[in-house]
Structure 1
Amino acid sequence: MHEEIKLTQYAHGAGCGCKIAPQVLDEILKSNSVQNTFDELMVGNGTRDDAAVYRLSPTDALIATTDFFTPIVNDPVIFGKVAAANAISDVYAMGGRPLLALAILGWPVDKLPAALAQQVLEGARSICSEAGIPLAGGHSIDSPEPIFGLSVNGMVKTKHLKQNNRAQEGDLLLLTKPLGVGVLATAAKRDLITAEDEELLYRQLIQLNSIGADLGLSDAVHAMTDVTGFGLSGHLIEMAEGSGLSAVLEYTRIPKLEAAKKYLRQNVIPDATYRNWKSYHQKIAFEASVDAMESFQLLQDPQTNGGLLIAVSPDGLAEVRQILEEKEYSAFTEPIGKLVPAAEKTVIYL
């Protein structure tokens, strides 16, 4: 009906690639005022975690998160699905299970038909249904660009809460999705992507990270976060620095979308890749054996609804592998690196 309308042409960014750069975000969040303390607030602005967590009882806690962005794909139904899956992922990344969601919609009503916004909401409802939660309401505004996302609440047992700053020295690192969706999304926006690769992009973008709720039950998982707009390097830096450690990764072991490489050869690189690199390149070291150009392009590639980055005790690796295999994540059971004592560089790629 509206095939001629390309949502991505109405937005300056794409998906999580429109996130504010890490160094700019640091400046925004800086505060000199005296902050009130809340005894039951278990996770708040004091860390770089994926969601806030509020203790409801000695055994149970509420997870609260908000995530929204501009279109990463042109199909409105897929856009709604992607935005919903991405927002719900924050709850899973804390080891929790979602309860309900509220929609956040900004729509340029003078530029785009309301019928397209209705399709965005339909896509979001389908993902919420898959996650077993209601899309229970929300808020909308008339905005210059199309924006969509969710505010999501979830629950977690306090003993199963996972944060991104609880990794321990010697922990092994696992990643549950391959890198490269930022490249594929940029190829789609430039009308360069093949139908087969676009389908691959859609499948990864709408895949729920519900495995996080299962991993949250394991004491062998010390820390967890989802990889989104800051790329693997950015979110790994947050995990390592927050835990007072450094990370060493084997580049060849990191899962990557092979389809992304052919677009890299065509110089298809998201603008946010350069933004990410500028923000944290001084914290990264590469060994000479690492493909300099490819690693730059993929390790900083902004992911939308990317995989879970997991820090696992070596003694508990077999248990975590079993969880992953039972949930059809057999391709992601091999460690890609480990946490080591803090060094001059936060992340070292071998």
Structure 2
Amino acid sequence: MDVEEFARRELSRGADENSVIKRLIENIIEIKGCNREYASDFAKAVVQEVKNSSGHGGDFLTYYKSGVSMGSFGVGSRGTGDFFAHRQFPKIIGRSSADVGVDEMDDAGVVSANGQYIITTVDGMHSRLSEFPFLAGFHVTRATLRDAYVMGAKPVALISDIHVADDGDVAKLFDYTAGISVVSEMMNVPLVSGSTLRIGGDMVLGERMTGCVGAVGVAEHVTKRSATVPGDILLMTEGAGGGTIATAAIYSGFPGVVEKTINLSFLKACEALISSDIFGEVHSMTDVTNGGLRGDVYEMAETAGCRIVIEEENLRSLVEPDVLKMLDTLKIDYLGVSLDALLIVAPESAEQRIKDVIESAGVAVKRVGYATEGPSDSKILVNGELKDFTPKFRESAYTPVKKVADKTKCDFEEMKKKVEKSADEAVKKKERVLKVLRERY
């Protein structure tokens, strides 16, 4: 429970200060199991801090509110709302000297230094793995390394950040780090620095954990999405999923499937490919994560400015059998959920040599589609018929709670206008502050 948010919300609605304090006291006692005197002092201090920090103006103490919540817009849910929100960042960040910047919507950013490409990326742990710290650490580390590898990089360092709420067990820090370290040692990429904090300091009660892991890599050949061209073919490796599939398994009653996600197949396939002579002919790579194959090929087509056609024939055979059985049983669209497979885009002439390298690493790979001239969209070929293959508003609902949330109806177009307006206001604030600082310095 966020006691600051509770007090701020209730006071803004005009609730009586004493009634807010009384309700806070009961909540604090219930969650923390503390005595009433401590809870009373704490509640009064919370309300005092909220009052002291409210009602201010100016650029530094206010922000323009869109009126659209993260959940209702699907931010983080890897669908059309999430993609739209992410496409607002380039206008705020602006043009930079990056070789691959945020405007290309790639898995990682790229800058040049001393004749090499430096790749940086960061991934947040799966939010539903808070009670399973080792899994959270393992899967987020594998995810951030994937994002470095698919840009053509050899990862050289990892960094970690972990936040645990006030009542969380300190042991979560260590179990999470153990998960990171397993991948770190297996892939010989050192974990070199990090940060450890509480979520919201004293203000968030409970045991919730969140965090991220970042990676730095170096490359000579960058495999960005925009390098995809008509005539290319798409290859995909086998996938057993990561944090998303583990979460689906845990919260849907399939705990045995979790073990299937504990593998390094993707990373080993990338290492083999990057070290091979054929790698220079690879145009683009990505991991099948953001809204599943639906989301990733849609983003790739939009970035590359061509049509991508996916051929259904080989897809199901590339999903780990127990994972696929679970998804089918739960009626989860396997094409709209993260499978953690590697997607490779290259000229047709390189197909067999790429397959040979990937298979030499013990990883299955098959051709799953091609790029062609046409509008910047994605299609799927099913029994000879070309069908729409665009992402949905949210990724496939893969837990019982998500199935409920997926039923929420909203006016997406109206929300888009509000979200875009808030991004435009952030740009204006940025320019106002820059103007002041440039005049000063």
TM-score normalised according to structure 1 size: 0.76
Please show how residues 178-189 of structure 1 align to structure 2 within 5 Å. 178=239, 182=244, 185-189=247-251
Q: Match of 2:381?
A: 349
CA distance in 1 between partners of 2:249 and 2:116 (Å)? 44
Which is worse superposed, 25-34 or 224-233?
A: 25-34
CA distance in 2 between partners of 1:213 and 1:114 (Å)? 35
Report the CA distance between 1:180 and its aligned residue.
5.8
Q: Choose from 209, 215, 218 the match for 1:152.
A: 215
Gaps of 5+ in 1: 1-11, 270-296
CA distance in 2 between partners of 1:89 and 1:308 (Å)? 9
Please show how residues 194-343 of structure 1 align to structure 2 within 5 Å. 194-195=255-256, 197-203=257-263, 207-216=265-274, 218-254=279-315, 255-267=318-330, 269=332, 297-303=333-339, 306-329=340-363, 331-332=364-365, 334-343=366-375
Distance 1:264 1:28, change over 3 A: closer
Q: Match of 1:174?
A: 235
CA distance in 1 between partners of 2:280 and 2:231 (Å)? 15
Report the CA distance between 1:25 and its aligned residue.
4.2
Contact residue 94 and residue 163 of structure 1 kept, 8 A: yes
* Aligned residue type for 1:105: I
* Aligned residue type for 2:306: L
Contact residue 78 and residue 295 of structure 2 kept, 8 A: no
Q: How many pairs are equivalent?
A: 295
* Aligned residue type for 1:116: K
CA distance in 2 between partners of 1:20 and 1:318 (Å)? 32
Distance 1:46 1:133, change over 3 A: same
Distance 1:82 1:252, change over 3 A: same
Higher-Rg structure is 2
Report the CA distance between 1:35 and its aligned residue.
2.9
Bigger relative contact order (CA 8 A; separation at least 6): 1
Distance 1:264 1:215, change over 3 A: closer
Distance 1:126 1:266, change over 3 A: closer
Report the CA distance between 1:28 and its aligned residue.
5.1
CA deviations over 1:296-329 (Å, ceiling 9, x no partner): x1111134xx121111211111221221122112
* Aligned residue type for 2:311: E
After superposition, the CA RMSD in angstroms is 2.7
CA distance in 2 between partners of 1:36 and 1:165 (Å)? 17
Look up the SS of the partner of 1:242 in the other structure: helix
Look up the SS of the partner of 2:176 in the other structure: helix
Q: Choose from 130, 134, 138 the match for 1:81.
A: 138
CA distance in 2 between partners of 1:322 and 1:85 (Å)? 24
Q: Match of 1:282?
A: none
Contact residue 245 and residue 341 of structure 1 kept, 8 A: yes
Distance 1:70 1:60, change over 3 A: same
**Fraction of identical pairs, as percent:** 21
Look up the SS of the partner of 1:320 in the other structure: helix
Look up the SS of the partner of 2:367 in the other structure: coil
Contact residue 98 and residue 131 of structure 1 kept, 8 A: no
Contact residue 169 and residue 341 of structure 1 kept, 8 A: yes
Q: Choose from 124, 144, 159 the match for 1:102.
A: 159
TM-score normalised according to structure 2 size: 0.61
* Aligned residue type for 1:319: R
Specify which structure has the higher proportion of helix. Answer: 2
Contact residue 92 and residue 210 of structure 1 kept, 8 A: no
Q: Match of 1:35?
A: 94
Q: Match of 1:116?
A: 172
